């Protein structure tokens, strides 16, 4: 695994700001964006699972990106996420064709923050394990800047 790039740190900062905005707008504090190899943000989204439990930020961003770009075009793109993609979102990343995933907060750290809150029934399945079952490789970088990523979650979850 290669180390995170300056671009990775830049886009993680952006996605963490978007996660805070998601919280301020009354949603779960998660956000994601898809960025081309040229550094263009081609899709970004916040969590909207209050009305659709599958509307995780990653799935929302991947749907937007997939409407504009083919799987071949997304092969060089990166999914940036404020938290490690759950099994559903990892599957979405795989099927969209995205070639890289960079996340801030690990699933294990998220579970420590959410506890048994029924709003986040955590699947303890790291995205790397989901990707390892696929036919194509997806580069994963994370967790990256977990202390900063925790801020949007502080005091949000019932334990």
Catalytic residue positions, numbered? 58
Give the residue from 75, 95, 93 showing the smallest Cα distance to 84.
93
How many residues are present in the chain?
159
For 10, half-sphere exposure in the C-beta direction (CA atoms, 13 angstrom radius) is: 8
Contact 111, 124 (CB under 8 A): yes
Query: Where does 25-145 have alpha helices with state H?
Result: 57-68, 71-74, 87-96, 107-114, 127-132
- Rounded to whole angstroms, the Cα distance separating 129 from 15 reads 23
């Amino acid at each position: 695994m290669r180390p995170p790039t300056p671009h990775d740190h830049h886009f993680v900062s952006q996605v963490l700001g978007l996660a805070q905005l998601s919280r301020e707008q009354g949603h779960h504090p998660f956000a994601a964006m898809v960025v081309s190899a040229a550094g263009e943000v081609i899709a970004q989204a916040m969590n909207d699972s209050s009305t659709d439990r599958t509307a995780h930020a990653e799935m929302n961003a991947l749907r937007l990106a997939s409407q504009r770009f083919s799987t071949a075009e997304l092969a060089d793109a990166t999914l940036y996420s404020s938290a490690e993609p759950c099994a559903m979102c990892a599957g979405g990343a795989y099927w969209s064709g995205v070639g890289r995933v960079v996340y801030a907060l690990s699933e294990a750290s998220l579970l420590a923050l959410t506890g048994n809150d029924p709003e986040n029934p955590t699947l303890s399945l790291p995205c790397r394990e989901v990707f390892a079952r696929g036919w194509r490789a997806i580069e994963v970088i994370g967790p990256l800047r977990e202390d900063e990523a925790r801020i949007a979650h502080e005091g949000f979850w019932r334990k």
